[in-house]
Structure 1
Amino acid sequence: MRNTNQQKRFRITLLISLIVLITVLVISLATGYISLTPTQLLQIIIGQGTSNENLIFFQFRLPRLLVGIFAGMGLAVSGAILQSITRNPLSDPGILGINYGAGLMVVIYISYFTADSSKFLYILPLFALIGGIATAFLIYLFSYKKGERMETTRIVLVGVGLSAAFSGAIITLTSHFNRDQYTFIASWLAGTVWGDDWNFVVALLPWIVFLIPIVLLKSNVLNTLYLHENVSVGLGVHVERERILLILIAVALASASVSVSGGIAFIGLMAPHIARSLVGSSHQLFVPIAAMIGAILLITADTIGRVILDPSGIPAGIIVTLIGAPYFMYLMAKK
């Protein structure tokens, strides 16, 4: 009976999330420096829009929104994995320093290579992934004590420390940049969704399409890891192997997402919490909802930022931080 109720609540929540996502998507497509009415949007979709309307819709707004959807999903699922593996509600790729580790490698790439390269869009996520994996390794190295179980509080503190260190390194490196390089990195750090054409969609899509289904297939493993290590061992789960694989997936999702969406934090913190409160802690149920909520949060933040100060806009990362920082403090006080 309980499973039936959970499944019913999941289906209702998924439907509502989908409706909200579509609503936010339509609002975002319609708003901006040049507004599009619902009638104009419909005409564009059925192939009867003007050349200017098609240009605005297909070349400027739609690819940016798709990048926002994929990046929001990637950050949310990454946060869900990290929270389950560490059994810490405060875990998030931004808070743990993974985003800044990826950002440091982005800065290093910009320092030695040109952003105009035809391979730039596809190499950049790989550089970000290297930075994210290196950060995860350092977190494990500094959090581990021989003969002791890794404490979740220690992991968070090490992550916060690494975030500060990487932030300082980024500032030091960017001080030697020319004006164009510095502007790009400053926008990236602020969380500007700068990947706004179809090439960025193509670069990010494989990471999301390939990795999130693997996470869903590993839902039972995540369920046991979230309960306790001993439960996983008792059920025959190879704890260390599965943990390393899932951490690598979490790092890859976060690194690929921030490489094209900017240094956005707190989505990986908020989305899994909201999803758990709606459908429970079963990963088969709350991970898809967390992905939807992550997409909704990032698109909403990006749309608000564009509307408040169009055409230059306020970076989505700043809007998310204004919401996420109080939420983080609330969780700190509660947990």
Structure 2
Amino acid sequence: MAFVSSSAGERKRVARAVLVLAALAVLLLLMLLISMNTGYIRLGPLDVFRTFFGAGTAKQHLILFEFRLPRIVITMLVGAGLAVSGCILQGISRNALADPGMLGINAGAGLMVILFISFYPTTTAAPVFVLPFLALIGAGLTATIIYVLAYKRHEGLSPTRLVLTGIAVAAGISAAMIVLTLRLDPQNYQFVAVWLAGSVWGSNWKFVLALLPWLIVLLPYAFYKARVLNVLNLGEQTATGLGAPVEKERLGLIAAAVGLAGSCVAVGGGIGFVGLIGPHLARRLIGPKHQHLLPASALTGGLLLIVADTIGRSIMQPEEIPAGIVVAVIGAPYFLYLLARARA
């Protein structure tokens, strides 16, 4: 009888998870449609529909397919990648405050991008495809430094030490980035300033092609390792007792989180808080099981960043507020709320 009750409860949880994922997907689709209709030059829903199926004017086709859609797709992909990266890091560290920005991974990727821009013009096509690799190197080196400093042989990986080490390393890297920006010429300085503010600067299909392969490889890997994350979330000793190769799995997942964060930061700019807020909202909606939490985080992150970018493009037309600033306005109070709860 207990087995039947447990089985029925599990089916109920799975059905609820599917319902929540479907609702998030519908909301994301609706936000995509709203974002396509939003901009300095208005395109009504019927205009968007006609243009999407090839019946619009040349001007409408240019606005929708060359300016808005690439940016919307990039925003969705960057939001999904950052949120899944944050979800992985929170699961590994068992710390609700962990995310790529907080742990310095975004800063490491940004430092490598700025170093590259200092010696290479941003107006050429090559950086579009080179930047994700460079950002991955910077993010990987930063993650390695943080992991080595936070790991103690007899104690393992302390969640508190991991966050504190990440904050310290991020502060040092941010200082180095400020020094480097002072040496840039005006054109590159303007680009870096926009990039650091979290503006979705990738606005054509080349950026989509540069980011998409990373997500196609790393997101399925993260979803495949969902059960491993469930085990690691129980603690190092428990996971070892259950037969999981803790260090091997942890390093593989950290590499996936770093790859997702680095590639997204390279194309989307210095956007923070998405990796923190996205998984938290998803966890509240769908529960702690990573089989459901990871895809929910991807949808929530994409939805959050599209909303932020749409608000930034529409609230002060013809000027734009970078999506990273809009997310920070939402994320900073939420972070303080989480910090207050953690202390309580």
Q: 1:318 aligns with which of 311, 325, 332?
A: 325
Tell me the equivalent position of 1:22: 29
Q: 1:224 aligns with which of 224, 231, 241?
A: 231
Task: Pick which of 245-254 and 156-165 moved more.
Answer: 156-165
Tell me the equivalent position of 1:67: 74
Structure 1: how far apart are the matches of 2:312 and 2:143? 31
- Normalization by structure 2: what TM-score? 0.95
Alignment of 1:278-317 (within 5 A): 278-317=285-324
Q: Deviations over 1:163-209 (max 9, x none)?
A: 11111111100101111100011111100000000000000001111
Shift of 1:23: 1.2
Shift of 1:96: 0.7
Structure 1: how far apart are the matches of 2:210 and 2:319? 25
Residue aligned with 2:211, SS: helix
Tell me the equivalent position of 1:234: 241
Task: Pick which of 324-333 and 223-232 moved more.
Answer: 223-232
Structure 1: how far apart are the matches of 2:45 and 2:68? 15
Q: Deviations over 1:52-103 (max 9, x none)?
A: 0000000000000000011001000000000000000000001111101100
Tell me the equivalent position of 2:122: 115
Alignment of 1:142-157 (within 5 A): 142-157=149-164
Q: 1:252 aligns with which of 241, 244, 259?
A: 259
Task: Pick which of 9-18 and 316-325 moved more.
Answer: 9-18
Tell me the equivalent position of 1:91: 98
Q: Deviations over 1:219-261 (max 9, x none)?
A: 1111100112223222221110110010010000001001011
Shift of 1:308: 1.3
- For 2:251, give the aligned amino acid: I
Alignment of 1:56-205 (within 5 A): 56-205=63-212
Structure 2: how far apart are the matches of 1:118 and 1:211? 25
Structure 1: how far apart are the matches of 2:301 and 2:210? 19
- For 1:254, give the aligned amino acid: A
Shift of 1:271: 0.9
Runs of 4+, deviation exceeding 3 Å: none
Structure 1: how far apart are the matches of 2:290 and 2:174? 33
Task: Pick which of 152-161 and 286-295 moved more.
Answer: 152-161
Q: Does 1:330 align with 2:328?
A: no
Structure 1: how far apart are the matches of 2:328 and 2:97? 15
Residue aligned with 2:40, SS: coil
Structure 1: how far apart are the matches of 2:153 and 2:29? 50
Q: Deviations over 1:84-135 (max 9, x none)?
A: 0000000000111110110000000101122233321111011100110111
- For 2:341, give the aligned amino acid: K
Structure 2: how far apart are the matches of 1:146 and 1:282? 29
Shift of 1:24: 0.9
Identity %: 48
Structure 1: how far apart are the matches of 2:124 and 2:64? 26
Structure 1: how far apart are the matches of 2:17 and 2:243? 29
CA-based RMSD? 1.0
Shift of 1:278: 1.1
Q: Deviations over 1:17-41 (max 9, x none)?
A: 1111111111111011001111101
Tell me the equivalent position of 1:209: 216
Structure 2: how far apart are the matches of 1:147 and 1:18? 44
Q: For structure 1, which runs of at least 5 residues remain unmatched after alignment?
A: none
Q: For structure 2, which runs of at least 5 residues remain unmatched after alignment?
A: 1-7
Q: Deviations over 1:282-328 (max 9, x none)?
A: 11111101100000001110110111122330000000001111111
- For 2:115, give the aligned amino acid: I
